[in-house]
Amino acid sequence: MRILHNHPEVQNALSKSNFLDIFTFDAEAYVKLIHFDADDEITKEGEVPEYLFYLVSGQAKLFITLPNGKRTLIDFFNAPCFIGEMELLAVHTHSRSVQALVPCVCLALSLDGCREQLLSDARFLRTLSTYLGNKNMRNVASLAETKTYPLPNRLASFILLAAPNGHYREMHGNAAEYLGVTYRHLLYVLADFVKKGYLGKSSSGYTILNKEALIKLTQAMHTGLSVSSLFANMDTKE
């Protein structure tokens, strides 16, 4: 992890994003830029959050620990998106575990410095409401897909999410729970993907050999919103 403050790279990230337009107050005074390496934890489960993050580039995944102690994969985040908004709104008092899937760059707002300004900023709250509404629509669409479409379609979509660099190495248990299928069923479809030439088996996972075939299976579902599209039509003006 590398933290930058009052650095040209911070200004560059701000100028290339719409981040400062989300607020009516001078948010720049509270901003840091944080680089995370792949597999770094952006937020750690159970900790009181220090920042509201805005993922500028990269991809991350969300885990929770169930009452039985089992750690479960819940969701994927693609830039641009917020991380920690539910803790800011006190829906959760402590952070969930968010882990960088690839190298990630985040703009981080210090909550100690501007929590009250955030919670009283009408422009920011309207932006956040739009974001959460779109996120909920995506989750509903994802649930519909889980109930409607066969595993090959859903697994193809999952692999594309989990392997942005073309190498799939998600633990089978995590994938099976995320997709709502048995471990055995998951391995059967993975083996079929290898047989068809979609994937190649390696010592540390699988390599995507036919991305077009996986995309075709994913597009057949015709539903859902990617996290990366959540800000596409966002109105940040008052």
Report pLDDT for 110.
93
Binned at pLDDT 50, 70 and 90, residue 141 comes out as confident
SS3 of the chain: the string is CEEECCCHHHHHHHHHCCHHHHCCCCHHHHEEEEEECCCCEEECCCCCCCEEEEEEECEEEEEEECCCCCEEEEEEEECCEEECHHHHCCCCCCCCEEEECCCEEEEEEEHHHHHHHHHCCHHHHHHHHHHHHHHHHHHHHHHHHHHHCCHHHHHHHHHHHHCCCCEECCCHHHHHHHHCCCHHHHHHHHHHHHHHCCEEEECCEEEECCHHHHHHHHHCCCCCCCHHHCCCCCCCCC
Binned at pLDDT 50, 70 and 90, residue 225 comes out as very low
Is residue 108, in this structure, part of any structural domain at all? yes
Report pLDDT for 229.
39
Report pLDDT for 237.
41
pLDDT digits (tens, 9 = 90+) for 170-199: 999 999 999 989 999 999 999 999 999 999
Is residue 83, in this structure, part of any structural domain at all? yes
Sort residue 84 into left (φ over 0), alpha (ψ -120 to 50) or beta. left
Do 134 and 164 lie in a common domain? Answer: no
Task: Select the more confidently predicted residue: 70 or 61.
Answer: 61
Do 38 and 101 lie in a common domain? Answer: yes
Is residue 224, in this structure, part of any structural domain at all? no
CATH number at residue 189: 1.10.10.10
The share of the chain scoring above pLDDT 70, in percent, equals 93
Do 152 and 201 lie in a common domain? Answer: yes
Task: Select the more confidently predicted residue: 122 or 222.
Answer: 122
Is the predicted pLDDT of residue 13 greater than 70, yes or no?
Answer: yes
The C-alpha atoms of residue 147 and residue 72 are separated, in whole angstroms, by 20
Is the predicted pLDDT of residue 81 greater than 80, yes or no?
Answer: yes
Binned at pLDDT 50, 70 and 90, residue 69 comes out as confident
Look at the chain and report how many structural domains it folds into. 2
Report pLDDT for 222.
63
The C-alpha atoms of residue 177 and residue 87 are separated, in whole angstroms, by 25
Report pLDDT for 175.
94
Binned at pLDDT 50, 70 and 90, residue 4 comes out as confident
Task: Select the more confidently predicted residue: 139 or 209.
Answer: 209
Do 177 and 213 lie in a common domain? Answer: yes
Which of 89, 114, 139 terminates a domain? The answer is 139
Is the predicted pLDDT of residue 226 greater than 80, yes or no?
Answer: no
Do 134 and 157 lie in a common domain? Answer: no
* Domain housing 28: 2-139
Do 48 and 115 lie in a common domain? Answer: yes
Is the predicted pLDDT of residue 125 greater than 90, yes or no?
Answer: yes
Do 67 and 126 lie in a common domain? Answer: yes
Report pLDDT for 7.
79
Do 122 and 200 lie in a common domain? Answer: no
Do 117 and 26 lie in a common domain? Answer: yes
Is the predicted pLDDT of residue 147 greater than 70, yes or no?
Answer: yes
Do 23 and 108 lie in a common domain? Answer: yes
Do 18 and 110 lie in a common domain? Answer: yes
Is the predicted pLDDT of residue 71 greater than 90, yes or no?
Answer: no
Report pLDDT for 220.
86
The share of the chain scoring above pLDDT 90, in percent, equals 67
**Under 8 Å between Cβ of 123 and 238:** yes
The C-alpha atoms of residue 34 and residue 77 are separated, in whole angstroms, by 16
Is residue 68, in this structure, part of any structural domain at all? yes
Pick the closest to residue 175 from 67, 44, 61, 78 (CA basis).
61
Do 135 and 18 lie in a common domain? Answer: yes
Q: How many CA atoms lie within 13 A of 173 on its CB side?
A: 4
Is residue 49, in this structure, part of any structural domain at all? yes
- Token pair 């995370």 is found at 36
